[in-house]
Amino acid sequence: MRLFATALFLSAALLGGCATPASAPTGSLLVPPERGNGDLGLVIERESGSIGVLDTTARTRLGTIEGLGDLSHASVVFSRDGALAYVFGRDGALTKVNLRTGRIEGRVMQAGNSIGGAISTDGTLLVAQNYQPGGVKVFDARSLQQLADIPAVVDGKASRVVGLADIPRNRFIFSLFDAGQIWIADLANPTQPVLTKFANIGKQPYDALISPDGRTYIVGLFGEDGLAKIDLWAANPKVERILPNYGKGEQPLPVFKMPHLRGWSIAGKHAYLPAIGRHEVLVVDTDTWQEVARIPVAGQPVFVMARPDGRQVWVNFAVPDYDTVQVIDTQTRQIVHSLKPGKAVLHMEFTPRGDAVWISTRDDHRVSVIDTQSFKTLATLPAKSPSGIFFTSRAARTGF
Amino acid sequence: MRLFATALFLSAALLGGCATPASAPTGSLLVPPERGNGDLGLVIERESGSIGVLDTTARTRLGTIEGLGDLSHASVVFSRDGALAYVFGRDGALTKVNLRTGRIEGRVMQAGNSIGGAISTDGTLLVAQNYQPGGVKVFDARSLQQLADIPAVVDGKASRVVGLADIPRNRFIFSLFDAGQIWIADLANPTQPVLTKFANIGKQPYDALISPDGRTYIVGLFGEDGLAKIDLWAANPKVERILPNYGKGEQPLPVFKMPHLRGWSIAGKHAYLPAIGRHEVLVVDTDTWQEVARIPVAGQPVFVMARPDGRQVWVNFAVPDYDTVQVIDTQTRQIVHSLKPGKAVLHMEFTPRGDAVWISTRDDHRVSVIDTQSFKTLATLPAKSPSGIFFTSRAARTGF
């Protein structure tokens, strides 16, 4: 999941990091040696360039790791063991953080303006997608040494890259905003990427998602209505267009107000997605990719997140409804609960078995833990201008 | 997943345990403090009452933990943090093992003959299902103190319990072999279980599975053909019968040769299940629960395991074909590969993103790691009469 964020606030901080344990540490560790990290997580503190380390079992904050630079549009992927968080900052920094020790193990400034990254299935490779200078870069996940640079130049012009996702066998798929293409990089030999290119996919792809099984890649288009889709399991994958009216709102939206496709959810046989420019969640059949229903909601949806079991979909909203969250029951397609967890809801992360959701409210400087059945607030944790929340259970999932 | 196992070999060992690191440990730890445990696993060594601790990234064996008693039909669940493995032994023992330290942290003899257990969504409760004396028992996951005893007595007769699964909100569902009932225990207050009972579900339920979303509970019947199903998301859940011919083989099988339902897989819109008494895998539509195809295979299937992305299904077989594994492509329903990893294939466990499968071959005393794309053997690890393989990534999944 990438974050819906609209502005850059901070200048880049340089290399450095220190851990401030919230409670008695073991030696200099945030997590005692005998304790596991499968239930840990982190919250991005966008304005202070720090992350808070979270314990989803005790529902506490274990400590703070500082010195990560500009985190206004940060995204995170995890090592296979779940101990290492790789933080991709908007400022082009890639920082390797150990959640167990609370220490920064490495940091490189890899680009001028970055929009996130991904990790290979085997955990050995990191790939960053960049706005400036465009293209993607490949790094050794252990050393952060650069292994390859893939400039994404088409007709002599460098393209910004969006919609990066890992797919099986150390391959990565991404979209070229300026060139209107989709590329797959096969990194079986990381220093010699093998590229497969799909041209003429539509104008200005601005974000994408990969289905949970790694099969279907869907790209949103800013320059025209509709979306582009590739079935990666096909014998000869090709680009198809779906939902030809998607994008037609009451009025055109600027790009920074376009709901990110990472805010889509596929649950069971349906995808749930934010209508653009309308106060609706769209329900789409994933067999036919036809719209089958629209659910009225409180505002312009931003993230439309399925609980892991698919029974509920949680929705947050753009300004002025950004203090509200609504819960849709996917069986009845009715809103079963509305809540106001705080000002400027920026992200929602479910525990992997779906019993709770963690919600960051930037302007109230807190993270709320909500029971998804009773809708009671189970805990409230302090966080400075929190945005993204990322749990280590993502390490086991494709496309996260 | 429970193991397909037919005999008891060992007498119970009593409390005690020691770790034997395979390589240089940090202090007395199997795993250094800064290393995560999201990519660890264990293999049951059934005859020596030990477990081998596995590193799925380096594809190595980190050490051995001994003193677990009779593991001939052992099953394992994990704590939310993935550090603790709770091992349910056939001898009725429940052992709490820390994979990071390599130490046994607790052990109770909770029954005379046990058939496995489950852990609650919040990780605080363990439930064991027992043959002797029947019923289920509830334990505090930290202390292993018994919190409740649910005898499963119907008409004055104690029933053996099978098919136990965790479902959301600290509830558990299980089946009564002798009484032909399904019970749900709500453990919101663990010392005061609230029971919901479904009677007349069919004769002699012998195993069950829960769908990955926790919605559908399916029970196999030994005493008659067909299966019983409950939709747990229904407003008023009730028992329905499906696949009325399931169970009719060429000839009746004894109960110990019945393929376990935990060997079923639900992938995409279909379930894949072993035919009984036939050399076939059945394909069933999960909307209609009608059989839609049969795929001929090399022998009587035992486990029919979907790769996490659902693209492949891997099948192992009963004697005499128990050295063989076949791989079905779910898109073409063709066998795309056959392999012979060793004698007496007892279990297959996929890495969570599906790039590899770990296969135990009991009589060749090894675990093989197979690439699911190239089918190459990536590593072979020694193990004494290995049976079940369990990865810590199960901690994030319902029904595991």
pLDDT at residue number A250: 61
**Residue A194 falls inside a structural domain:** yes
Question: Regarding predicted confidence, which is higher, B178 or B21?
Answer: B178
In A, which residues are within 8 Å of B186 by CB distance? none
Name the residue among A37, A268, A331 with its Cβ closest to that of B37.
A37
Main-chain dihedrals φ then ψ at residue B392, nearest 5 degrees: -65, -15
Q: Nearest residue of B to residue A32 by CA position? A: B33
Taking residues B5-10, report their average pLDDT: 26
Indicate yes or no: CB of A123 within 8 angstroms of CB of B269.
Answer: no
Q: What is the dihedral of CA B241, B243, B248, B249, to 10 degrees?
A: -140
- pLDDT by position in tens, chain A (length 400): 333 232 222 222 323 334 444 544 445 899 999 999 999 999 999 999 999 999 999 999 999 999 999 898 899 999 999 999 999 998 899 999 999 999 999 999 988 888 889 999 999 999 999 988 899 999 999 999 999 999 999 999 999 999 999 999 899 999 999 999 999 999 999 999 999 999 999 999 988 989 988 999 999 998 888 999 999 999 999 999 999 988 766 666 665 556 666 667 888 789 999 988 899 999 999 989 999 999 999 999 999 999 999 999 999 999 999 999 999 999 999 999 999 999 999 999 999 999 999 999 999 999 999 999 999 999 999 999 999 999 999 999 887 7
* A303: region left, alpha or beta (phi > 0 left; psi from -120 to 50 alpha): beta
First CA to last CA distance, chain B: 7
Q: Is A101 left (phi over 0), alpha (psi -120 to 50) or beta?
A: alpha
Which DSSP state fits B261? G
| Span B12-63, pLDDT tens digits | 232 334 444 454 444 589 999 999 999 999 999 999 999 999 999 999 999 9
The interface predicted TM-score (ipTM) is 0.91
In a domain, A159, yes or no: yes
* Nearest-CB residue to A373 (from B39, B169, B395): B169
pLDDT confidence of residue B17:
40
Write down the pLDDT at residue A259. Answer: 65
Which one of B78, B98, B373 has the shortest CB-CB distance to A169?
B373
B98 at interface of A, judged by CB pairs closer than 8 A: yes
Tell me which chain B residue has its CA closest to the CA of residue A235: B331
Q: What is the pLDDT, as a whole number, of residue A277?
A: 86
> What residues of A are in contact with residue B215 (Cβ under 8 Å)?
309, 311
Nearest-angstrom CA–CA distance, A62 and B23: 31
**Mean pLDDT, chain A, whole residue set:** 89
Exposed, middle or buried, B352 (CB in 10 Å: 0-12/13-18/19+)? buried
Q: Is B168 on the interface with A (CB under 8 A)?
A: yes
Q: How many domains does chain A have?
A: 1
Which residue among A33, A354, A398 places its CB closest to the CB of B353?
A398
Choose the closest CB to B36 out of A32, A82, A354.
A82
Instruction: Give me the amino acid identity at B368.
Output: S
| Residue A221, helix vs strand vs coil | strand
Q: Closest Cα of chain A to B123: distance in Å? A: 8
Q: Is A84 on the interface with B (CB under 8 A)?
A: yes
Judged by a CB distance cut-off of 8 A, whether residue A386 touches chain B is: no
In this complex, do A101 and B34 lie within 8 Å of one another by their Cβ atoms? yes
Q: What percent of chain B has pLDDT over 70?
A: 89
Q: What is the CATH number of the domain that holds B237?
A: 2.130.10.10
Interface of B with A in 183-242 (CB under 8 A): 213-215, 233
User: A40–B81: do the CB atoms touch at under 8 Å?
Assistant: yes
Mutate to test the interface with B, among A60, A80, A101 (most CBs of B within 10 A): A80
| CB spacing of B311 vs A81 below 8 angstroms | no
- Tokens encoding B313: 């299904």
Nearest to A81 among B37, B101, B310 (CB): B37
Q: Could you report the per-residue pLDDT of B217-246, keeping only the tens digit for each?
A: 999 998 888 999 999 999 999 999 999 988
pLDDT at B178: 95
Q: Please report where in the chains the tokens 């003959």 appear, as a residue.
A: B113
Alpha-helix residue ranges (DSSP H) falling in chain A: none
Identify the three-state secondary structure at position A71: coil
Q: Looking at the complex, does the CB of residue B396 fall below 8 Å from at least one CB of chain A?
A: yes
CB–CB contact B38 A83 (8 Å): yes
User: What is the mean pLDDT of the segment spanning B329-356?
Assistant: 96
**What is chain A's Cα-based Rg?**
20
**Contact between residue B309 and residue A168 where contact means Cβ atoms under 8 Å apart:** yes
Chain B residues with beta carbon closer than 8 angstroms to that of A352: 395-397
Any chain A CB within 8 A of the CB of B30?
no
- Spell out which residues of chain A touch residue B393, defining contact as CB-CB under 8 Å: 396
User: For the residues B362-372, what does the mean pLDDT come to?
Assistant: 97
Structural domain contains residue A393: no
* DSSP letter string, B32-64: -TTS--TTEEEEEETTTTEEEEEETTTTEEEEE
Q: How far is CA B316 from CA A335, B127, B346, in A?
A: 45, 29, 8
Alpha helices in chain B (DSSP H): none
CA quadruple B191, B192, B198, B204: dihedral positive or negative? positive
- Residue B65 inside a domain? The answer is no
Q: Is there a contact between B352 and A36 if contact means CB atoms under 8 Å apart?
A: no
Contact A16, A67 (CB under 8 A): yes
Please report the pLDDT score of residue B10 as a whole number: 25
Contact B80 A39 (CB under 8 A): yes
Nearest residue, CB atoms, A36 vs list B79, B215, B352 = B79
Q: Which of B182, B178, B172 minimizes the C-alpha distance to B240?
A: B182
Residue A231 with chain B: CB contacts under 8 Å = none
Distance from the Cα of B337 to chain A's closest Cα (Å) equals 18
- How close does chain B come to A143, measured CA to CA in Å? 16
Mutate to test the interface with B, among A77, A266, A309, A369 (most CBs of B within 10 A): A309
Does B390 map to a domain? no
Judged by CB atoms closer than 8 Å, whether chains meet at B39 and A82 is answered as yes
Q: Is the dihedral of CA B382, B386, B392, B394 positive or negative?
A: positive
CB-based contacts of B284, cutoff 8 Å, min separation 6: B243, B270, B271, B272, B273, B290, B291, B292
**Residue A130 near residue A136, CB atoms below 8 Å:** yes
pLDDT at residue A7 in the model: 26
Asked if residues B302 and B279 have their Cβ atoms less than 8 Å apart, the reply is no
Given a contact cutoff of 8 angstroms between Cβ atoms, the answer to whether B71 and B46 are in contact is yes
Contacts of B354 in chain A (CB under 8 A): 168, 398
Gap from A395 CA to chain B (nearest CA, Å): 8
For B396, which of A37, A311, A393 is closest by C-beta distance? A393
Name the residue of chain B whose CA is nearest to A392's CA.
B38
Contacts of A98 in chain B (CB under 8 A): 34
Q: Looking at residue A233, what is its pLDDT?
A: 95
For chains A and B, count residue pairs whose Cβ atoms are closer than 8 Å.
160
Q: A328 in contact with B at a CB cutoff of 8 Å?
A: no
Q: Where residue B202 falls among pLDDT bands split at 50, 70, 90?
A: very high
A245, part of any domain? yes
* Whether B268 contacts chain A with CB within 8 A: yes
From A101's Cα to the closest Cα of chain B, the distance in A is: 6
3-class SS of residue B271: strand
Provide DSSP, A294-335.
Answer: EEE-SS-EEEEEE-TTSSEEEEEE-TTSTT-EEEEETTTTEE
Domain that holds residue A117: 110-255
For an interface test with A, the pick among B266, B309, B374, B392 (most A C-beta atoms closer than 10 Å) comes out as B309
Quickly count: other Cβ atoms within 10 Å of residue B225's Cβ: 16
Residue B249, both tokens: 């083989």
Report which of A301, A298, A316 is spatially closest to residue A362, judged by C-alpha positions.
A316
The verdict on residue A43 lying in a domain is no
For B253-276, give one letter per residue: b (16+ CB within 10 A) or e: beeebbbbbbbbbbbeebbbbbbb
Verify whether the Cβ–Cβ distance A311 to B215 is below 8 Å. yes
Residue of B nearest to A216 (CA): B309
Residue of B nearest to A391 (CA): B396
Is A373 contained in some domain?
Answer: no
Contact assessment for residue B215 and residue B208, using Cβ atoms and an 8 Å cutoff: no
What residues of A are in contact with residue B355 (Cβ under 8 Å)?
121-122, 168-169
Confidence (pLDDT) at A9: 25
Task: Establish if B395 touches chain A: CB-CB under 8 angstroms.
Answer: yes
Compare CB distances from B57 to A31, A78, A123 and report the shortest one's residue. A123
Contact assignment for B34 to A98 by CB distance below 8 Å:
yes
Q: Which residues of A touch B309 (CB under 8 A)?
A: 168, 213-215, 398
Closest residue of chain B to A287, computed from CA coordinates: B269
Torsion of CA A156, A157, A163, A165, to 10 degrees: 30
Unique residue bearing structure tokens 């525990």: A351
Separation between Cα atoms, residue A95 and residue A92, nearest integer Å: 10
The CA-CA-CA angle for residues B375, B376, B379, to 5°, reads: 125
